[in-house]
Amino acid sequence: MKLRLELILLLIYFGLNQAFGKQAIYQSNFPEGLYQTKEDFLKKTPSLFLQLTIDKIKLVNDSDSLARRCFFKEKDTNKKIKKVFAISHNGQLYFSNWAILDNKSQKDKSVSPVESMNSFVRVLIGGDNFLYAEGAFVNPWQTGFSAGVAEGVGGIIGSELGNAIDKSYPITTFGGTGVVWDIKNEEFNIFRNCSDFNDFVENFPVEKIDCGKQIFELKQIREILNKIK
């Protein structure tokens, strides 16, 4: 009877997830630890093993129990983790803004993170081709803000962040910016705008976004990345 009840609850859970479009939580296959360099990450060999705590960055309308964007701190010293390429923690994989900026595609050279360089973004979708996350990236030449501000929501507080994102459009989508680690090319690609994203998926058998008629949203990016990951 108990087993039957658990099965029913499990079916209801997955049914609700599908009905409300909730995304399954990506589970990393990277060994737990800190990957200080890209080379360590490519070899799947952690450089350090530390007891960590997560300082979650509060995002508007974020109901996710796991931190999408955060800082990591050493549990014993409360010091922030800095200049680390990636962290695998409790089955989740995180990239630092520093790593993304330092290893981004040449075509994304004008794009910078709004948040601190030492903050991290969690991988939401992953497969053999790509590891996908979402951050806050703008073109500082357009916004008038320098990258790497360390305080507040997304690095810039309140309406200032909204204005920065508005001014940088179409560098970003509504709600943030999609970014992928391209496993084959060993670099990050930041989806600067709708046409840039369509160029990225050019060689995949997926329907492109109609940039003239559709709003470029993270939901669309996730749906397509789930197909080509």
**Within 13 Å of residue 83, how many CA atoms lie on the same side as its CB?**
0
Q: Place 207 in a pLDDT band, splitting at 50, 70 and 90.
A: very high
Mean pLDDT of the chain: 80
Helix (H) and strand (E) counts in the chain: 7, 11
Residue 88 is predicted with a pLDDT of: 98
- How much of the chain exceeds pLDDT 70, in percent? 72
Task: State pLDDT tens for residues 106-122.
Answer: 888 778 777 889 999 99
Task: State pLDDT tens for residues 149-178.
Answer: 333 334 444 444 444 444 443 344 556 789
Q: Evaluate the omega torsion of the peptide bond into residue 31 and state whether it is cis, within 30 degrees of 0.
A: no
Residue 7 is predicted with a pLDDT of: 40
Q: Are 195 and 211 in contact (CB under 8 A)?
A: yes
Which of the pair, 110 or 135, is modelled with greater confidence? 135
Which of the pair, 21 or 25, is modelled with greater confidence? 25
Phi-psi region of 83 (alpha: psi -120 to 50; beta: other; left: phi over 0): left
Residue indicated by tokens 């099965």:
7
What are the extents of the domains in the chain? 24-228
User: Is residue 90 packed enough to be buried (19+ CB in 10 Å), middle (13-18) or exposed (0-12)?
Assistant: exposed
Residue 60 is predicted with a pLDDT of: 67
